[in-house]
């Protein structure tokens, strides 16, 4: 029961932190943009094309960032594995002497 509660709280905290980190604008700015979009539908479409992130561009940007992060993690893992192999060989040679 305690593990379940701990897991729930940990997941909640992780979700809040990731939501805050990925939010393109603050809540106040987002509400202002929504009000403007409701008042002027044509202007909102033009703004979406020029500067305001659209849902599609948001997901594309997110996907690109995740891809870059995965590539960087893969490179770091390969480098760490290479370093560990070199270190292992050094220790084996030292132990043989």
Name the domain count of the chain: 2
Residue 90 tokens read as: 């050094």
Q: Model pTM?
A: 0.40
Listed residue (44, 19, 22, 21) closest to 33, CA to CA = 44
Whether residue 47 is found in the same domain as residue 75: no
Give the up-direction half-sphere exposure of residue 24: CA atoms within 13 A in the CB hemisphere.
Answer: 13
**Which phi and psi angles does 19 have, rounded to 5°?**
-65, -40
Whether residue 32 is found in the same domain as residue 67: no
Q: Are 33 and 24 in contact (CB under 8 A)?
A: no
pLDDT for 48-75, tens place per residue?
Answer: 555 555 666 778 888 889 999 999 999 9
Give the pLDDT confidence score for residue 87 in this predicted structure. 93
Whether residue 34 is found in the same domain as residue 65: no
Domain that holds residue 67: 59-97
Confidence of residue 18 (pLDDT cuts 50, 70, 90): confident
């Amino acid at each position: 029961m305690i593990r379940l509660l701990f897991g729930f709280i940990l997941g909640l905290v992780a979700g809040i932190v990731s939501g805050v980190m990925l939010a393109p604008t603050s809540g106040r700015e987002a509400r202002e943009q929504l009000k403007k979009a409701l008042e002027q539908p044509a202007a909102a479409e033009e703004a979406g094309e020029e500067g305001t992130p659209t849902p599609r561009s948001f997901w594309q940007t997110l996907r690109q960032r995740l891809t870059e992060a995965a590539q960087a993690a893969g490179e770091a893992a390969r480098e760490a594995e290479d370093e560990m192999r070199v270190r292992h060989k050094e220790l084996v040679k030292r132990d043989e002497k």
